[in-house]
Chain A
Amino acid sequence: MMNDQAQTIEDAAIGEKREQVVLPSGLPVVVFSRPGFKKTFATFATHYGSIDNTFRDAQSGQEITVPDGIAHFLEHKMFEKKGGGDAFDDFARLGASSNAYTDYTSTTFLFQTTAHVLDNLGTLLDFVQEPCFTDENVEKEKGIIEQEIRMYLDMPGDRLHSNLMQALYVNHPVRIDIAGTVESIRTITPQNLYTCYQTFYHPSNMVLFVVGDLDASSVFDYVWENQKHKGYGKQSPISRNFPPEPQTVAEKHREQQMVVSMPLFVMGYKDPETGLSGRDLLRHELIHGLMWQMLCGRSSSLFHHLYRQGLINDRFYARYGASTTFGFSTLGGETPDPAALEAQLLEGLHHAPLRAEDLERAKKREVGEYISLFQNPEELAYAFNHMFFRRIDIFEYVDTVLSINLEDIERARHTHLNETRRASSVIRPADEGYARKESDG
């Protein structure tokens, strides 16, 4: 029934296509066919992440603020089923493995399988669309998530980034850890989980993505059969509120001590140009990504110079990422001397020549990485969903890369590398090492 409305969309440049349909509830269903692949990978994702903590409650009409970490908590709790049992078992019964993750702007539920593709799709849709939160099961989850948060607290790279975000941002909720804190999750109740669920898990705020060796029309038929009796009507647009973010940073610098062998350094630039979406946002993001590749990517003279001085190792990174409400760059890695690395980066980034031949190579690399995406179902799903929620058509990627010129990069450097919007974060080795006790029993 849905097949007459299905569209086939092509990326002629690299010989890829996808098929998609939008159900009456507003749910888009997208299929990438990969002949010869053994496994099918599917995601059911909602445009709802850790930053969406202040919004208008559809039922009361009031604007509310919910506890930090609730989107991630909700992700965990979706696996719980009415009458006990969990969705992991339903997938296991059908030979699939399942998982989920939450980031700043989205929550994604997924499975991968080599058998019973359609039944697994049904399981995915059903468990995400049948919430069951009770006082008891919510309390029980707090112990598990507390251990997850404590695990992150011992990860130096995670702390480094978290501290940077708190330094960079004054108000925007991107400064809050995705999982929240041990204290904030203790305040979560079934009632506020339901409020978030009802606001953000409507099909029109979600996308179903499937990749594998499969026939798109059978997927569309099956999904429609699953959805048509669930009674989803149209939902009015979600009203999310983000506080205004000043042009300055909250703090210039943050430091923390941990048990690490060597300092970790990262610095970030907060992007003043937010509010973009669609192809404009894709282009903006690509310009900044190419800029970092040219200025301090592995093939640049600055990288070479820093490496030769022992200030960085080959895990040094410089990247940019943006949603529709925030954007930032991060540059960093392990270094014996954070101050020297910072000083040399600042000197080098502002003065390094931007050359046409470097841009051409960086663009080639970008195209090659894009093509490689299509053989990696997990990465393709992530890239597709992340673009979809920002109203970017993934198939505009190559064209957009090719449209970028040296002036775009120069302009981005001039605007983006601004001292007032820069902050840094350092993790230093704790003074005390560690004690070891061994004994034979």
Chain B
Amino acid sequence: MSVTAKDKGFVGRTQEGTGWYCFTTPRFKTITLHAFIVNELSVEQTVFGAILPHVLQQGTQKWPTFMQMEQTLEELYGASFRAEVGKLADKQLISIHLEIVNGRYLPGKPDTLSLGLEFLQEVIDHPHVQDGAFPEDVVKQEKDLLQRQILGLINDKGQYAVTRLIEAMADGRRFGLRKLGRVEDLDKITPHTLYDYYQKVHSTHPIILFAVGEIDPRSIEKFMQRYRTGQPRKEPENIEPYTPHFHDRLLTERQDIRQGKLNLGYHTGITLKDVRYPALMMYAGILGGFPHSKLFVNVRERASLAYYAYARLDAVLGYMIVGAGIEFEDFEPARDIIRQQVDAMQRGDISEQEWEFTLRAFDNDILSEEDNPSQLIARHLEHVLVGGGLFGEPLQRALHEVTPEQVKEVARNVSLDTVFFLTRKEDKRELEGDVK
């Protein structure tokens, strides 16, 4: 086994739609395997991609029931296994995740890497199928559960408000589609249509496996060769950066709630691959990335209007979301303070302390990521799908080279697209900018 003492980061590559990336390190006591099948979000197909991981999780040829699969995982010292759907920009990701204790720390030193890969392969390649279709009862049950999950977005108010804002900014474009799809498309799913979909996805869509732990990269490369037989797979399509369709638009929605959720969506015009991206990171960090940032200090610490106030980037699409949970009556003051802070950034009004603290906070974030297998994988996946951009130490160096003038330049191009305010039912005020 070729385990090097020093981490060398991810090794691996993607060819003809099949990719593998392995991060070999003795730091972790577990082995993390994370496979992604990449779909393009589309109105009708998305429900299929959303339900598939849940059906795959319900049984394989070898372990036809969910219960047998779970018992197998327990035998593997409580391996944690999740099959679910994710989203990155306009991509839907079928995600199959397995984390298992490295055998060298277990009694009898079992080869848990091989056992884990076998499990993964069984899930991806050998689902439980009856007469050329997925079992009818399983499909019905998972359709019910998916429908509930789609409707359940309303349960998490913060998440709901951000999702509604992004949907509104997308204005019909694919990146605004929800990863779970729409209830009205569920009827199209039958045991046969879903199995056809599985077969298509399984043989033609991009598939990428990430592995982190004390493992030999060759075993990962070898494992993935099985997905390179037959026709080359599709390559993931290029991701179009978002451009604004609106300017300074206000949307409100009313619910029976106790706290208002204020979210603002901004266009930045810069994505991960852009040379100005490190300057944009500095911009968003100083504005609202940390407890020392302008938003936290002014909205929370000075005005006591909120418990949280943040700014966060979508590095792939190039938008920024600002959010705060506030008293319903404080809509105007909170929005005004947020706007003042955005204006201050445009004037280049940044203290030395804000600059230095932000730089150090990014150093800490970037280095710390390396201690968390899931974060390492999520970050690397972004770069693989975007096809470039800096991360790790090169990103750190680039951040240190950013100048205040560059941040000011970036700030000048930041423009407000839409404000979304989730307020209480009783809020009958006509909010300024709320055009009838």
* A residues with CB within 8 A of B: 14-15, 34-39, 86, 88-89, 92-98, 112-115, 140-145, 147-148, 150-151, 153-156, 258-262, 297-301, 303-304, 307-308, 310, 313-314, 334, 336, 361-362, 364-369, 371-372, 374-377, 430, 432, 434-441
Contact = CB atoms under 8 A, between A and B. Distances in A.
B74 A88 contact: no
Contacts of A142: 304
A212 to B, nearest CB: 9
Q: Which 9 residue pairs are nearest across A and B when measured between Cβ atoms?
A: A368-B77, A365-B78, A143-B304, A95-B360, A368-B78, A299-B70, A261-B151, A114-B367, A92-B357
A301 B67 contact: yes
B154 A114 contact: no
B211 to A, nearest CB: 15
Given A147-B307, A310-B141, A435 B251 contact: no
B435 interface: yes
B435 A441 contact: yes
Contact of A144 (B155, B157, B257, B300): B300
Interface stretch (B27-35, B41-49, B198-206): B27-35
B363 A95 contact: yes
A151 B325 contact: yes
Nearest to A140: B304
A365 B305 CA distance: 45
Contact of A261 (B66, B70, B145, B154): B154
A372 B74 contact: no
Contacts of A436: 253-254
Interface of B: 7, 25-30, 57, 65-67, 70-71, 73-79, 99-101, 105-106, 137, 141, 144-145, 148-149, 151-158, 168, 246, 248-259, 290-292, 300-301, 304-308, 325-327, 353, 356-357, 360-361, 363-365, 367-368, 370-372, 425, 433-436
A366 B435 CA distance: 58
Contact of B154 (A259, A301, A374): A259
Given A261-B152, A441-B435, A36 B25 contact: yes
Contacts of B153: 261
B26 A371 contact: no
A126 B371 CA distance: 27
Contact of B74 (A96, A145, A334, A364): A364
B254 A366 contact: no
Nearest to A437: B252
A430 B256 contact: yes
A15 B433 contact: no
B148 A261 contact: yes
Contact of B360 (A94, A151, A365, A430): A94
Nearest to B325: A151
B254 A299 contact: no
B244 to A, nearest CB: 13
27 contacts: A36-B26, A39-B364, A88-B292, A89-B292, A89-B353, A89-B357, A93-B356, A144-B300, A150-B325, A150-B327, A151-B307, A258-B256, A260-B154, A261-B152, A299-B74, A301-B67, A304-B65, A313-B149, A364-B77, A368-B77, A371-B77, A372-B30, A430-B256, A432-B256, A434-B425, A435-B253, A436-B253
A95 B361 contact: yes
